Amino acid sequence: MTKRGESVRFFSFLVFGVLVFGLLIYRLAQLQVVQGPEFRERSEENRIRFVELLAPRGVMRDRHGKLLVSNRPSYTCYGIPRDLYGDSLATTRVGLALAVDPHEIREVILKPVRNTYRPQRLRRDLPYTLLARFEELRDQIPGAYLEIEPKRFYPYGVAPHLIGYVAEIAEEELAKFPGLQTGDLVGKRGLERLYDKELRGVKGSKLSVVDVHGQEVESGGELGRVEPVAGSELWTTLDLDVQMLAESLLTDKIGSVVALDVRTGGVVVMASSPSYIPDVFAGSISSSDWRALLSDSTKPMLNRSVQTMYPPGSTIKPAMLVEGLESGAISPSWGVSCPGSFTYGNRTFKCWKKGGHGYVDCTQSLAQSCDVFYYKLGLQLGVDGINRAMSRFHFGSPTGVDQTSEAAGLIPSEAYYNKRYGPNGWSKGFVVSVSIGQGEMLATPVQLAAFAGAVATGVWRQPHIVDGVYDPGSRMLSRRADFIVDTLDLSSEILDYARHGMTEVVWGAAGTARRQQNDSLRIAGKTGTAQNAHGDDHGWFICYGPVDNPMYSCCALIEFGKSGSGAGAPVAGEVLRDLIRRELFPDLYREKAPEEEKNAEQEDVAHAGDFR
């Protein structure tokens, strides 16, 4: 090869080398100078992770300070979309570790935010078995990590309907909760829903340095940390011990028990049966568990204390008597002869007692619950007079108790019948059934508990559950003071006829609830048996006590209970007496301190010989 050829070859290599070197310098300059800030930002995003710290949700307490709802720590698994989405093997492994469909993780959770480094929750509340499985695969799942978060804890598992539950916010709810985002928890029912803003608290945050596997290697104040602020506490009027008693009395029954403090309107008991275990909602409820609850024919999710409406039966007779006397339709000396039935037009209406009650006056009409007395009284009052009698005690409208989806009940009127049946489509015969709480009339247990309290005191008080909201940070307690108090504008003389009649229900020789007599404590009440087109009659009992100084009222409804005296009265009577005794004799129910229990044990041992 000639020298000229060698020179051409050398020159060609030189030019090629210069071009390659120049391209490398150009690319390096582009990466360092032009795109440097962008890559540095990406590197920092990948290296430094922003982590939200959930605020502990506010606890709930009963009226004695006992915890109804608290929080406990639980493990939540998070994933970094930018790290996980592009790695199908990693998403498969994390799905295996968490027992979650990898397709759901990839397409539902990660895909919408696949280009971000913002952590996404993959699964809440990992049980121990899955926690151990995740730790085994941890090094093989870059971008997945665990955080400790607060989870709802129910020390006694009581009153799930009243308390409600929390769950992840739905897409359609985001507009109602400013500042929240997908994956955040909000109250769904009951107190959790109504007081969500107070209970939720304020989230905190921290910055963490992670390694190439996405695992935290550094975290501290020098990186920036904002502590979460715990939510406020709800101080309720509920009595935990009596609530547990009421729930035990409803075991294997379908029904409700509501008890109120007649001096304040505070709800001390609100039990509904059948119920459900609140822990199923504490973490992430499975779709199978959710479907099982919804498809259960006994409807365990239904709060029968406020959401279900029933014919109240004879429990409304005291209101009928009060209206009859107040309006002048009857006088205190008015009475009827009951042969066991009453014929109006071409229809005969039976009294519950086949042989009849004979002559009954105002007091005995309640004591013996004579239907014929109220058939005739109802016709004297007319449908609008009955509507007025019920409206006086706030039937036909929600009580305003702090519960979700409260039903209003129904009180028919002439306008109602005209609208439903037409002016010529109904007759006064409809009034006869309504007079004893049947027909179209509907009420809820909480309405009847408030009614019993109003008869006892002459004042209708709005039932309520939350007495105050306590901020543990500022130690400030905000008491609620917006309750409705209606003095009813009735004379004590007229109310005394209803009170005396309700007292005779329990203490009269022919009273329908005379089995509830207890010499240590005098209570008054009214039984009710409501016809049911779907099976046995429903059993009601409303009561208050003590008779001379009313403290509490109570209502019990037992679906398919057959009678108020046999089903409702034993339940409501026991709950009412327990409430009164706990207030009158607190030392008998006071929980002993550990030292007192120890001394008591020593005393028992010392006196053991006395019983030999």
What is the tens place of the pLDDT at every residue in 66-106?
A: 999 999 998 989 888 888 888 888 888 899 889 889 888 88
Type and span of the H or E element at 21: helix 3-29
User: Which CATH code fits 49-236?
Assistant: 3.90.1310.10
Reported residue count of the chain is: 612
Average pLDDT over residues 478-483: 87
Q: From 449, 435, 472, 247, select the one nearest 349 (Cα to Cα).
A: 435
Residues 117 and 84: their CA atoms lie apart, in Å, by 10
pLDDT at 167: 87
Same fold flag, 49-236 and 242-587: no
Q: What angle do CA 58, 407, 247 make, to 5 degrees?
A: 60
Residue-wise pLDDT tens digits, 321-371: 999 999 999 999 999 999 999 999 889 999 999 999 999 999 999 999 999
Q: From the DSSP assignment, how many helices (H) and strands (E) are in the chain?
A: 21, 24
- Give the CA count within 13 Å in the CB-facing half-sphere of 417: 21
The model's pLDDT over 497-507, given as tens digits with 9 standing for 90+, comes to 999 999 999 99
pLDDT at 605: 35
| CB half-sphere exposure, 310, CA atoms < 13 A | 33
Kindly report whether the peptide bond that precedes residue 445 is cis, defined as omega within 30 degrees of 0.
no
List the chain domain ranges: 49-236, 242-587
Q: Element (H or E) spanning 213, and its range?
A: none
Of residues 603 and 129, more confidently modeled: 129
More confident residue, 14 or 33: 14
Share of the chain above pLDDT 90, in %: 59
Choose among 321, 302, 322, 318: nearest CA to 310.
Answer: 302
Cα separation, 204 vs 210, in Å, equals 19
- Distance from C-alpha of 518 to C-alpha of 530, rounded to nearest angstrom: 26
Alpha-carbon distance 570 to 577, whole Å?
11
Closest C-alpha among 263, 56, 288, 305 to residue 163: 305
Given a cut of 90, whether residue 307 has pLDDT beyond it is yes
**Structure tokens that stand for 472 in this block:** 């543990």
CA distance 250 to 572: 11
Kindly indicate the confidence band of residue 27, based on its pLDDT and cuts at 50, 70 and 90: low
Residue 172 neighbours by CB under 8 Å, 6+ apart: none
457 and 550 in contact (C-beta within 8 Å)?
Answer: yes
Residue where the block lists tokens 């440097």: 36
- Residue type (1 letter), 473: G
Per-residue confidence (pLDDT) for residue 6, from 0 to 100:
64
Q: Which two tokens stand for residue 468?
A: 């105050």
The DSSP code sequence of 145-214 is: EEEEEEEEE-SS---HHHH--EEEPPGGGGGGSTT--TT-EEE-SHHHHHTHHHHH-B-EEEEEEE-TTS
Strand, helix or coil for residue 116 = coil
Dihedral of alpha carbons 239, 245, 251, 255, sign: negative
pLDDT-derived band at 514, boundaries 50, 70, 90: very high
- Give the containing element (helix H, strand E) for 466: strand 466-471
Place of tokens 């390694």: 211
Encoded tokens for 352: 């519950």
CA distances, 536 to each of 399, 438, 444, 539, 562 (Å): 28, 15, 19, 9, 5
Instruction: Give the model's pLDDT for residue 503.
Output: 98
Amino acid at 65: G
Question: Three-state DSSP class for 119?
Answer: coil
Residue 455's nearest CA partner among 539, 542, 527, 371 is 542
- Check: CB of residue 554 under 8 Å from CB of residue 578: no
Average pLDDT over residues 387-404: 97
Residue 545 has a pLDDT of 97
> How far apart, in whole angstroms, are the C-alpha atoms of residue 565 and residue 555?
13
CA distance 105 to 111: 8
Work out the angle at residue 177's Cα, subtended by the Cα atoms of residues 171 and 179, and round it to the nearest 5 degrees: 100
Name which residue leads in pLDDT, 391 or 285.
391
- State the pLDDT at residue 318: 98
Phi-psi domain of 182 (left: phi exceeds 0; alpha: psi -120 through 50; beta: other): beta
Give the Å distances, CA to CA, from 405 to 162, 238, 294, 398, 554.
11, 20, 17, 10, 21
Radius of gyration of the chain (CA): 35
Q: Would you place residue 49 in the very low, low, confident or very high pLDDT band (cuts 50, 70, 90)? A: low
Per-residue pLDDT at 114:
83
Burial of 88 (0-12, 13-18, 19+ CB in 10 A): exposed
DSSP state of 328: T
Tokens of 198: 């107070």
Give the pLDDT confidence of 167-221 residue by residue, as tens digits.
888 888 888 888 888 888 899 999 999 999 999 998 888 776 665 555 555 555 5
C-alpha torsion 459→302→245→535, nearest 10: 90
CA distances from 49 to 103, 130, 217 (A): 25, 24, 11
Q: Which DSSP string do the residues of 395-458 spell out, in sequence order? A: TTS----S-TT----B---HHHHHHHH-TTS--THHHHHHTTT-TT-BB-HHHHHHHHHHHHHS
Reply yes or no on whether the pLDDT at 29 is more than 80.
no
Residues 6+ apart with CB under 8 A from 441: 311, 312, 316, 390, 410, 411, 412, 434
| pLDDT given for residue 23 in this prediction | 73
* % of the chain beyond a pLDDT of 70: 86
Residue 602 has pLDDT above 50, yes or no: no
Question: What's the pTM value of the predicted model, to 2 decimals?
Answer: 0.85
Q: Which residue has the higher pLDDT, 8 or 378?
A: 378
CATH number, domain 242-587: 3.40.710.10
Residue 555, classed as helix, strand or coil, is strand
